[in-house]
Amino acid sequence: MKVHTAETQASLTPARALELLKEGNQRFIKNLKANRDLLEQANETKDSQWPFAVILSCIDSRTSAELIFDQGLGDIFSVRIAGNIVNSDILGSIEYGCKVEGSKLVVVLGHTTCGAVKGACDQVELGHVTQLLQKIQPSVNDEKTITDKELRNSKNPDFVQKVIINNIRRSVKNIIDRSRVLYNMIEKGEAGIVGALHDLESGEVTFYDDTFLQSKEDIERLKEGRINLIR
């Protein structure tokens, strides 16, 4: 499989970029990796790169975006931080990938049994980890269906899973709310954004279609409240 070029990157829409990731994930879960010569790809991308997507994911060692989406060298930007949270440096990295380097899609990728989310559920305090987990705390507070205090902790898998999904959706919203650059690109159809969950057991990635924004119409629906990123 060849690396992307300026021409192939420019020809992609956000929707097609999403399809490429879905196709790659299907190869991954079926253990049917695309045939690549990585050394050749390294040589072909030594001077330039044309990644088609930016993946914001957790640092978890089992969630490598290049592997679970079966992508090669030069195909995606991989931005990793515990709990796939958003801060100014993360936003700058994503803006660079899309506005400067031409990527067509931003994916906020969470995963099952996330340790950072579990820490936020238990209100763990540990050095700089404390500040990081505070950014996940709003997603803990978003979960309203489990009200028993004895069940609102990391020992309850159902609670953890709900918070993980909330955290994905909130990160999508944070990116749109805080980055005028990305907001404008989405409104113009130059880029898209979507939230997704990686199941560590099966390897399958589930994309949340109601978080997929790629056009002026989507932005209008969001402003009018017809799209609710935070449930």
Instruction: Give the SS3 label for residue 176.
Output: helix
Instruction: Give the SS3 label for residue 64.
Output: coil
Q: Identify whether 230 is part of a domain.
A: no
User: E strands along the chain, which residues?
Assistant: 53-57, 76-80, 105-111, 192-198, 205-213
Cβ count near 2 (within 10 Å): 12
Give mean pLDDT, residues 16-38. Answer: 93
Q: Identify whether 35 is part of a domain.
A: yes
Cβ(121)–Cβ(160) under 8 Å? yes
Instruction: Give the SS3 label for residue 57.
Output: strand
Domain with 50 in it: what CATH number? 3.40.1050.10
pTM above 0.85, yes or no: yes
Three-state SS letters, 35-70 = CCCHHHHHHHCCCCCCCCEEEEECCCCCCCHHHHCC
Residue at 57: amino acid letter: S
For residue 113, is it left (φ>0), alpha (ψ between -120 and 50) or beta? left
* DSSP label at residue 142: H
pLDDT tens digits for 95-152?
Answer: 999 999 999 999 999 999 999 999 999 999 999 999 999 999 999 999 999 999 999 9
pLDDT for 199 beyond 80: yes
Residue 52: pLDDT band (50, 70, 90) is: very high
Instruction: Give the burial class of 213: count Cβ atoms within 10 A of its Cβ; 0-12 exposed, 13-18 middle, 19 or more buried.
Output: buried
Q: Identify whether 36 is part of a domain.
A: yes
Q: Which domain holds residue 31?
A: 6-223
Q: Identify whether 229 is part of a domain.
A: no
Rounded to 5°, angle at Cα 61 from 51 and 94? 30
Here the tokens at position 100 are: 């400067």
Q: Identify whether 1 is part of a domain.
A: no
| Total number of domains in the chain | 1
Q: Identify whether 214 is part of a domain.
A: yes
pLDDT tens digits for 75-89?
Answer: 999 999 999 999 999
Q: Identify whether 132 is part of a domain.
A: yes
Residue at 104: amino acid letter: K
Cβ(185)–Cβ(175) under 8 Å? no
Q: Identify whether 159 is part of a domain.
A: yes
pLDDT for 39 beyond 90: no
